[in-house]
Structure 1
Amino acid sequence: MKLNVCNIPYRCNSITDDGLAALANGCKKIKLLNLCYCNKITDGGLGHLASLEELTNLELRCLVRITGIGISSIAIGCKSLIELDLKRCYSVDDAGLWALARYALNLRQLTISYCQVTGLGLCHLLSSLRCLQDIKMVHLSWVSIEGFEMALRAACGRLKKLKMLIGLKTVLSPELLQMLQACGCRIRWVNKPLVYKDC
């Protein structure tokens, strides 16, 4: 089947890992796939998607059953991936970031807000992904101020867009923020309460 774009209906609860296996088997040329809020999907389902070598855009927002294991499968298999949305994938941790840092070398846009990543994972990611231009990282509760500082310094000069909590504006080094902006990075500060939604 020559399907290039697949948008699963919003908050569809009927898509399972078996459905993803069928999709991956029948739609090898798919480029854009939106699975946001399809909360029955697990790491096993993402393993099936790893065969989609032409996939460029993948939205996995609020898939609460996936972990770094599933993200590793995606990173290793989907070599063409340019955009990845992992917002509110609460169980995605550093293992997923390390895999992205090693294999997802074409990644340009990434959302990891609310993920369980640490400063070490974030720093490794931002120092490794040379194509990354846009990252959204709101409510990374496991990342310290020093972790943010090191990660952002590692990516300075490459980032064009950055989304973070406004509370960081007063605690991050003014010199770092000036350096980011001087290098052409547009920082979007947001004021969002920490609320863990039941996806």
Structure 2
Amino acid sequence: MNDAQTQVDMTAEPLADRPQVIVADRQLIVCQGIGSLVAQIPEVRLGPFATDKAGLKQLLSKTEGPAILILGVRLSDGDLTSVLDVVRKSYPQVMIVVVAEDTEFAFIRTAIKSGANSVCMMSQILTSLPKILGKLVEGHSIVPTDILRKLTSENADSLSRREHEILALLVDGLTNFQISARLGLSENTVKYYLKAIYQKLDVNSRGAAIAKYVAGNY
């Protein structure tokens, strides 16, 4: 019994050598829920949580060795697009998994376009996340088959990157003035983009545009 235990200990990968997983979402309770699942996956080790961009940047700057970021679609001070831009530019070595609700499929599409290594629907996280993390540890990016099928079966995305950014900020509840300040545009330019967005989505109101966007129906 002791010899067998010794053999297991000698062959097991040291905890410090396993990729560290950082979980980031605007709601701490979501981080904790995902963290409890990650803690049960032997190929990785659970790291700290972040709820805003500043906290996430601080954690990533201190991370040594391989790291995986599990990212919700919003932090308390930023949407998915802005967070992905920061991580990809400043920490390109970090592998990213974006987690979204089924009603937030638009963010899954955005995540893939922005270079996320994998995506996971919250409704399937118990079965999908362990498989995804296992593939990332091996160095492989992965998009689950059901998500890939939905993406490829839909019409080509007609929205521009800037329109995606504006819609994401609409979802976060920002006004036209706040959007213009965030993106460095004039309010008139924001209104121009909104008019184009409404036409492409075939809607005539802010609320209808938001509803259609978060459901991925465009």
Higher relative helix content: 2
Bin the TM-score by the shorter chain: 0.3 to 0.5
Larger radius of gyration: 2
Return the structure number with greater relative CO, CA threshold 8 A, min gap 6.
2
TM-score (norm 1): 0.32
